Amino acid sequence: MEKGWLQSANFLIIDDQEYNISLLERILSRAGFVNLTCTTDPKQLESLFYEVKPDIILLDLHMPEMDGFAALKLLRERVEESHFLPILVLTADVTQEAKKEALHLGAHDFLTKPLDKSEVVLRINNLLKTRFYHKQMQEQNQLLEQRVQERTAKLEKAKLEILQLLGRTSEFRDDQTGQHTQRVGQMAKAIAVSLGLPEHEAELIERATPLHDLGKLGIPDDILLKPGRFTPEEFEHMKTHTTIGASILEGSQFPDLQLAHTIALTHHEKWDGTGYPNGLSGEDIPLAGRIVAIADFYDALTHERPYKRAWTTEEALTEIQKQRGLHFDPRVVDAFLNIIQENMISK
């Protein structure tokens, strides 16, 4: 494999002396190299570089119009830093200054004129082997990166499924379709976008929202599924689903679950400070909690539950408008109403 790759390597040879070009072609052809592109005009370097896509460049140092130093500067601008493209300088100039300048500009090795046939082949083989191994390593790194991305995507998908299943678990006891959590998540994302939040933050809210009522797992059925109004004692017990859910979600290192903890704890707080569990008010309530509060409220009103009939859209909107500045953040109400209006117009 390595030998075959070396023999098929693409050469770009630039030397203003036709004799040197002919000599190199004979040496390289006899060594088994076949893809040789040569020019005596250094001004063709840039066009040939893109056309040939060389694996190695043989470059004369002293040429008229464009010398090897200028060519090296041009190549340095064209070759990506992550790629190893060997440049072998051909020169009769053996001064230290010339070598240092060429190395500084990106040369990798030197062949001193007059050329020695054995040395030419040996140095070229060494440089091409280095390029071969470099490309192999790059391909291996790309393969590994692709595998990491694939596994990361699978883990992310599994995490999202777990979040959705946890959300459905909490709702399935009083919502047999299990769709409430998904609808609230979608609505919360739409509100977040309407408020101008970046897309990734809106998506994070959508993923975290389905766990807002996870604490219902800790509420007895005789309270959770009770038809009719709660007694004061039952309502106090029902309110604990916020702290129960927050306790379950507490301490996670994942942003999704950290936000889910915040939402579970604060989605029943009210703008005027009369909500629960901590009586927060105004912007002391996290924005995600304020967003989910209205999305949850609207969806709960407009869908039937064991203890209530489904309200009409008009009834729900009227109630939400009444609660603007009381239960709900006025800015969030406005964003929500814009979404509802847009949906109505589109229908």
Token code pair at residue 324 = 């603007």
What is d(CA 87, CA 335) in angstroms, rounded to the nearest whole number? 61
pLDDT at 201: 96
pLDDT at 176: 52
Phi and psi (nearest 5°) for 229?
-80, 150
pLDDT at 347: 47
Residue 151's alpha-carbon distances to 140, 200, 256, 300, in angstroms, are 16, 21, 19, 37
What percentage of residues in the chain have a pLDDT greater than 90? 56
Compute and round to an integer the Cα radius of gyration of the chain.
35
Domains with residue ranges and CATH for the chain: 2-144 (3.40.50.2300), 172-346 (1.10.3210.10)
* Helix 117-171 vs helix 180-194: crossing angle, to nearest 10: 120
Residues lower than pLDDT 50 in the chain: 1, 177, 347
